[in-house]
């Protein structure tokens, strides 16, 4: 992978799900000086706090991961909050990087930024060819706008900022809260609880027919570190596996791995979200040699094992967030 990018790294959101994995991966690859502040140390939605954080830490490399995220229901309930928080955090961090003369900036976006009916596989050049899926559009548009900002700052100020678009993430330390979490941790928790309570059936959102592409969090962290070292272009880059799975098939797989044998009842009155997602991952392979290595079933087994241990250690909401 070459030599580590020089100097101190600042990882916003570095104590979160992806952030903790990026910090661990960077350290394993030889980065020795990393700052990973918590939300209590700097509220990045406030410009003065974002600028103070950069001025205080003086990093040479910044990886911006701090975000407000959640599943379909969380997005539906908080469209204004998700837009405001994600837009302002990104705007403030990018501007503070310019002020401090940061040498390398990595901004991590989301596949929710893609248009609802993007042709498969999703190619980076299709990002602007339509409006995102309505259930997560405010979040997706806020994150998409940061690509424009990063490109503008590259052109005007010479800021070496890059922009990555990871697939849906999963893995140990994910958010297992049923109200705000994503599909994989939600299914794992629901099936474990249904198994333990001997429930004959579990009702699930939607039709089960949409597809998603899932990326193990450790693989994503590897991609972020590789890109920070090896990529310096203006074009956005997909990070994923290039493989999709129907949500119905995913649910059946997780139920089997958890040991739940009851009926899966789908509720078509609930929204499905975007019909399909599968990324073209050619650019990441070509530009910085990234290829995901964790098969879905293997990653699910690790996630289930972690959550099973976490349940024994305390309340699911606290343990699953690494509190």
How many C-beta atoms lie closer than 10 Å to residue 257's C-beta? 16
What does the pLDDT read at residue 6? Answer: 58
Compute CA distances 322 → 14, 311, 319, whole Å.
Answer: 12, 12, 5
Coil, helix or strand at residue 214 = strand
Q: Does residue 33 sit within a domain?
A: yes
> What one-character-per-residue DSSP string does 146-166 give?
HHHHHHHHHHHH---EEEEEE
> What's the rounded Cα separation, in Å, for the pair 147 and 153?
10
> What's the rounded Cα separation, in Å, for the pair 31 and 25?
9
Q: Is 139 a catalytic residue?
A: yes
**What's the total number of domains in the chain?**
1
What is the reported pTM? Answer: 0.93
> What one-character-per-residue DSSP string does 19-88 give?
HHHHHHHHHHTT---EE---TTT--TTSHHHHHHHHHHH--SEEEE-------HHHHHH-HHHHHHHHHH
Residue from 139, 163, 216, 260 carrying the catalytic annotation:
139
Q: Does residue 181 sit within a domain?
A: yes
Q: Does residue 1 sit within a domain?
A: no
Q: Does residue 102 sit within a domain?
A: yes
Which structural domain, as residue segments, surrounds residue 220?
9-320
Token pair for residue 281? 């991952």
Token pair for residue 111? 């596949």
CATH of the domain at 212: 3.40.50.720
What does the pLDDT read at residue 47? Answer: 97
pLDDT averaged over 10-residue windows placed end to end, the chain, 323 residues: 67 96 97 94 97 98 93 85 96 98 97 96 97 93 97 98 98 92 95 98 96 98 97 98 98 98 96 93 98 98 98 64 35
Q: Does residue 100 sit within a domain?
A: yes
All residues at 6 or more sequence positions from 35 whose CB lies less than 8 Å from its CB, including other chains: 8, 9, 10, 11, 14, 57, 59
Q: Does residue 2 sit within a domain?
A: no
All residues at 6 or more sequence positions from 308 whose CB lies less than 8 Å from its CB, including other chains: 192
Q: In the chain, which residue ranges form alpha helices assigned H by DSSP?
A: 17-28, 47-57, 72-77, 79-100, 137-157, 183-196, 217-230, 247-258, 282-288, 296-313, 316-320
Q: Does residue 255 sit within a domain?
A: yes
Token pair for residue 272? 């499905």
Q: Does residue 3 sit within a domain?
A: no
- Phi, psi angle pair for 266, to nearest 5°: -90, 140
> Which helix (H) or strand (E) element contains residue 106?
strand 104-108
All residues at 6 or more sequence positions from 105 whose CB lies less than 8 Å from its CB, including other chains: 61, 62, 64, 94, 97, 150, 159, 160, 161, 162
All residues at 6 or more sequence positions from 227 whose CB lies less than 8 Å from its CB, including other chains: 106, 162, 164, 237, 284, 287, 288, 290
Kindly give the pairing relationship between strand 104-108 and strand 161-166: parallel
């Amino acid at each position: 992978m070459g030599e580590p990018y020089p100097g101190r790294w600042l990882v916003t959101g570095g104590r979160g799900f992806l952030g903790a994995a990026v910090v661990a991966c960077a350290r394993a690859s030889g980065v020795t000086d990393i700052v990973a502040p918590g939300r209590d140390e700097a509220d990045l939605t406030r410009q003065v706090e974002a600028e103070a954080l950069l001025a205080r830490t003086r990093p040479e490399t910044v990886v911006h991961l701090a975000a407000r995220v959640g599943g379909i229901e969380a997005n539906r309930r908080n469209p204004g909050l998700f837009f405001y928080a994600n837009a302002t955090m990104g705007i403030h961090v990018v501007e503070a990087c310019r002020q401090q003369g940061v040498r390398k900036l990595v901004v991590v976006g989301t596949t929710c930024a893609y248009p609802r009916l993007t042709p498969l596989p999703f190619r980076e050049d299709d990002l602007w060819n339509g409006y995102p899926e309505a259930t997560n559009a405010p979040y997706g548009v806020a994150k998409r706008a940061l690509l424009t900002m990063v490109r503008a700052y590259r052109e005007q100020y010479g800021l070496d900022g890059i922009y990555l678009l990871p697939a849906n993430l999963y893995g140990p330390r994910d958010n297992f809260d049923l109200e705000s979490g994503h599909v994989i941790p939600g299914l794992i928790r629901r099936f474990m609880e249904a198994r333990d309570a001997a429930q004959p059936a579990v009702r699930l959102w939607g039709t089960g027919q949409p597809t998603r592409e899932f990326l193990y969090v450790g693989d994503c962290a590897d991609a972020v570190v590789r890109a920070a070292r090896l990529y310096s272009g203006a074009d956005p880059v997909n990070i994923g596996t290039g493989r999709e799975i129907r949500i119905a098939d995913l649910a059946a797989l997780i139920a089997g791995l958890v040991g739940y044998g009851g009926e899966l009842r789908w509720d078509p009155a609930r929204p499905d979200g975007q019909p399909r997602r599968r990324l073209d991952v050619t650019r990441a392979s070509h530009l910085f040699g990234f290829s995901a290595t964790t098969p879905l079933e293997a990653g699910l087994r690790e996630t289930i094992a972690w959550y099973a241990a976490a349940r024994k250690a305390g309340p699911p909401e606290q343990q699953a967030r690494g509190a």
